[in-house]
Amino acid sequence: MRRRQKLTLPQPPPPVTAEQLQAKWNAEALALPKETRQKFLDLMWQGKTVGEAQRECGIEELMVASALVCLNVEERRFLRRESA
C-alpha cells in the first residue's frame, strides 16, 4: 500500500497596508534627483495637471508623482485670536 503525501499549499503573502504603500511611494519620490522634483513643482505652478507634469518629468508611476505633491504641501495650524 502506498502512503499518501501531504499536499501543502503555498502561504499567501501578508497583506500590504496603505501605510506601507505610502512609505514606498514617498521613498521613491525622495529618491528622484532634486532637479526632477523641482521641475515637477515648477510645472505644477504653471498650471499643469499631475499627469502632465509626471509625463514631462519622466516619472514612471502616477502615485510617485502624487507623493511628490503630498510631500510638498504645507499645512499650518494656528490658534485664532478671535472666535470663529
| Domains of the chain by residue range | 37-72
Q: What is the pTM of this model?
A: 0.72
pLDDT at 84: 61
Distance CA(24)–CA(67), nearest Å, equals 10
Alpha-carbon distance of 67 to 25, in angstroms, equals: 6
Using one digit for the tens of pLDDT, what is the confidence trace for 44-79? 999 999 999 999 999 999 999 999 999 998 877 777
Q: What is the pLDDT of residue 60?
A: 94
64 exposure class (CB count in 10 Å sphere: 0-12, 13-18, 19+): buried
| Angstrom distances, CA of residue 18 to CA of 24, 27, 28, 59, 63 | 10, 14, 15, 21, 12
